[in-house]
A and B are shown apart, each in its own frame.
Chain A
Amino acid sequence: MANSVSQDAISTILANPSPDSSSDLPDIIVQVLDLKLTGNRYTFNASDGKMKLRAIFPSNMSSDIMTGSVQNKGLVKILDYTLNDIPNKSEKYLIVTKCEVVSSALETEIKTGEPDIVLKKPKLEHEVKNEANTDLAGIVLKPKQEMVSKSAAQIVHEQRENMAPLARMAMTRRVHPLVSLNPYQGNWTIKVRLTSKGNMRTYKNARGEGCVFNVELTDEDGTQIQATMFNEAARKFYEKFQLGKVYYISRGTLKVANKQFKTVKNDYEMTLNDNSVVEEASDEEAFIPETKFNFVPIDQLGPYVNGRELVDIIGVVQSVTAVSNIKRKIDNENIPKRDMIVADETKKTVVVSLWNELANNVGQELFDLADKSPIVAIKSLKVSDFQGVSLSTLGKSTVMINPDVSEAKKLRSWYDSEGKGSSMANIGMGLSPSRSGARSMYTDRISLSDITSNQSLGDEKPAFFSIKAFVSLIRPEQAMWYCGCKTCNKKVTEAIGSGYWCEGCQKNDEECNLRYIMVSKISDTRGEAWVSAFNEEAEKIVGCSAGELDKLKSELGDIDGYQQKLKEATWIPHLFRVSVTQNEYNNEKRQRITVRAVAPIDFAEESRYLLEDIKKMRGSH
């Protein structure tokens, strides 16, 4: 039993589109790739290691395939077939009418690398003269002669050096501009440069573990799109994708981009899975695009705290710590981290935390250079409220030491002349460290009338604000909670029999957790609004869990404990962090305010805030 493909099997097939039983053809053993069900028949790509041909199995073989006698990456001997043209395309299509299984799934796709001497036109001239090669020529004379009957596209393809295994794609390499891609048409190939590569991240959620990374792709027109890969696909493509190189990609899927997490301007984002095809375009030079910075002065970092927008900064390194290891709570993994203090012309300093690879590689460099006060430029930092204001790197952050940009030169001369000696304060100072949650309640503080009077807030991305308000009404008759899965919190349905069924976890549970989904009215000095709150936040508003409130509701007695509890929740002042979005409802756009965090009032902090506000108002007189 053979365990490999027949040499030039595809060429043989192409040369003999309609063999009859008397033709003296060599064995045609091909590898079955990309086997998939289309309608009620199985299609695949027949490969001989050098070339591929689209093919289809007869419907009477579908059951064999389903039972696994014919497997993807397995070998089949084609006994009878017809080669058809695909209308409007230069491709051919193999209709297998009779075949037998030669081998079950092989480890990998067979690739026989270097093109056969015979198929390279230039060398053919030599062959004719050489005696030894005449033998070869003799054996392969048939296909050589029949080269004439091959389509022009095929000949052009065969002349190419370094024939890629993805012969079919090469022949039909109709490259689509990124801007033309949409989720409804899956038959495309794009040619793009990898302009950004994120780090591989591992995650653990209620359903298990996984790994993911994403990249940014840019085509010739300059259109960009983000592509994400999970698990198998992530592992498969992580090494393959290298920054600056150009790739032909096909068989990705598109979906509408999640505006909150968008990093490039595109309505769609792409996912590549195990079936996607990524091939390096060998005819293109790698070009790592110049990093474009958009620096934010340190004293202007305030508005970005806890927001989703990433910032770039440039500054003079004041100090760098040694590497420390932080245990990640979610999965107990140890992550290297290094902190450094950076200062700029605003005479403010900020702490920048370098994580993972950045802590080790460029972090070490910075550590060694620290006393020379180098200039550092960092792209894509997250701004958090730790100790007031602090910056953290992400997978996609890039760090450049003493970059060749004009801002660096300006900083250098400022620092050497006056910066070095001046006293500088940390941007987070002056805002007292307090319990988390309360800290960020002072950024973007507005009043309810500011939100309700501006109906266009949050139409692109959700807008976040802090509010100080009182809960003024919680309607007792509303459906205040839902039954949530104990593992993943998604809504469960009542199972047949007893218990609850979770569609996401695909399992039954005797019990479920009641989780709040509550609407209430809040009021402040200027206005009022209806807001939604989910479990954690609603618990803080009501003062007990949904389960406990449910118990109160079903208790009998003189005093309606349930109504009482809801009444007691009103007219208590809270600090709310809210998001404002636009919802479409019956073709109308409606403003939706969601509570993202609830914090008690810290009166000293609040007084400080009000005094500042008064000062600002007096200043304007």
Chain B
Amino acid sequence: MQDMDISSPAAFVNGGLLRMHVGRKVRTVLQVTRSDIGSVMGRSTDGCQLVAKGSPPVPLTSYVEVIGVAENENTIRAELWTNFGDTFDASNYDKLCQLANGELKHLFL
């Protein structure tokens, strides 16, 4: 297994922002749409379909946070999975992603 890059903090991303961090550590929350062995498909907080590769927790709740390295603009190689339960405010998280990548980037990275 490849070593995870732990030297820098994970950037908060949604579907649209993932492409800006390809090859780097990212974190995001997905609403699980499909769960297979070795990967999970989910909807990002801005409505894109993303893939998280790895071993999800069992059982898996509706919302899950994944932290890992961005492989490409719609895939994350997840190292860390956290169940976020069945209710989650996607819009709040999405706004957070925008702030964290925009004007307030310097507070996060």
A residues apposed to B, CB below 8 Å: 603-604, 607-608, 611, 614, 618
Residues of A within 8 A of B99 (CB): 614
Q: What are 12 A-B contacts with C-beta separation under 8 Å?
A: A603-B89, A604-B89, A604-B92, A607-B89, A607-B92, A608-B89, A608-B92, A611-B92, A611-B95, A611-B96, A614-B99, A618-B103
Give chain A residues whose Cβ lies under 8 Å from the Cβ of B95: 611
Contacts of A611 in B (CB 8 A): 92, 95-96
Expressed in whole angstroms, the Cα–Cα distance for A507 and B92 within the complex equals 57
A2 and B103 CA atoms in complex are apart in Å by: 99
Tell me, rounded to whole Å, the shortest Cβ–Cβ distance linking B3 to chain A.
Answer: 34
CB distance from A510 to the nearest CB of B (A): 48
List of B residues within 8 angstroms of A603 by Cβ: 89
Min CB–CB distance A175 → chain B (angstroms): 66
User: Within the assembled complex, what's the spacing in Å between the Cα atoms of A618 and B103?
Assistant: 9
Across the interface, name the chain A residue whose C-beta is closest to B103. A618
Which B residues lie within 8 Å of A604 (CB)? 89, 92
Question: For the side of the interface on B, what is the size category?
Answer: under 10
Name B88's closest neighbour in chain A (CB-CB).
A604
Chain B residues within CB distance 8 Å of chain A: 89, 92, 95-96, 99, 103
Cα distance, A608 to B96, chains bound together (Å)? 10
Q: Which residues of A contact B103 (CB under 8 A)?
A: 618
Give Cα A618–Cα B99 distance, bound, in whole angstroms.
11
Q: Which residues from A are CB-within-8-Å of B89?
A: 603-604, 607-608
Q: Which residue of B lies closest to A605 (CB)?
A: B89
Q: Which residue of B lies closest to A618 (CB)?
A: B103
Q: Which residues of chain B come closer than 8 Å to A614, judged between CB atoms?
A: 99
**Distance in Å: Cβ of B6 to nearest Cβ of chain A:** 28
CA distance A43 to B103 in the complex (A): 85
CA distance A607 to B45 in the complex (A): 15
- Closest B residue to A603 by beta carbon equals B89
Rounded to whole angstroms, the CA-CA distance of A608 and B93 in the bound complex is: 10
Residues of the B chain whose Cβ atoms lie less than 8 Å from the Cβ of A607: 89, 92
A604 to B92: give the CA distance in the assembly, Å: 7
Which residues on A sit within 8 Å (CB–CB) of B96? 611
| Cβ-closest 7 pairs across A and B | A604-B89, A607-B92, A611-B95, A608-B92, A604-B92, A611-B92, A607-B89
Q: How far is the CB of B61 from chain A (nearest CB, A)?
A: 16
Report the minimal beta-carbon distance from B46 to chain A, rounded to whole angstroms. 15
Contacts of A618 in B (CB 8 A): 103
Residues on A with beta carbons closer than 8 Å to the beta carbon of B92: 604, 607-608, 611
Complex CA distance for A614 and B103, rounded to whole angstroms: 11
User: Apart from A608-B89, A611-B92, what are 10 other A-B pairs with CB-CB below 8 Å?
Assistant: A603-B89, A604-B89, A604-B92, A607-B89, A607-B92, A608-B92, A611-B95, A611-B96, A614-B99, A618-B103
The answer for the CA separation of A382 and B53 in the assembled complex, in Å, is 56
Chain A proximity of B83: nearest CB distance (Å): 16
Q: How far is the CB of B93 from chain A (nearest CB, A)?
A: 8
Once bound together, how far apart are the Cα atoms of A614 and B96, in whole Å? 11
Min CB distance B95 to A, Å, is: 5
The smallest beta-carbon distance between B96 and chain A, in angstroms, is 8
Kindly provide the distance from the CB of A617 to the nearest chain B CB, expressed in whole angstroms: 11
Smallest CB gap from B92: residue in A: A607
Q: How far is the CA of A604 from the CA of B96 in the complex (A)?
A: 12
B109 CB, nearest partner CB in chain A, Å: 18
Residue of B nearest to A604 (CB): B89
A19 nearest CB across to chain B (Å)? 94
Q: Which residue of B lies closest to A607 (CB)?
A: B92
Minimum C-beta distance from A147 to chain B (A): 91
Closest to B95 in A: A611
Write out the residue numbers on chain B whose beta carbons fall within 8 Å of the beta carbon of A608: 89, 92
Inter-chain CA distance A611–B95, complex, in Å, is: 8
Expressed in whole angstroms, the minimum distance between the Cβ of B92 and any Cβ of chain A is 4
Measured CB to CB, the nearest residue on chain A to B98 is: A611
Distance in Å: Cβ of B86 to nearest Cβ of chain A: 13
| Smallest Cβ-Cβ distance to A621: which chain B residue | B103
Beta-carbon nearest neighbor of A606 in chain B:
B92
- Which residue of B is nearest A602, CB measured? B89
* Smallest CB gap from A614: residue in B: B99
Among B95, B99, B103, residue most surrounded by chain A Cβ atoms (within 10 Å): B95
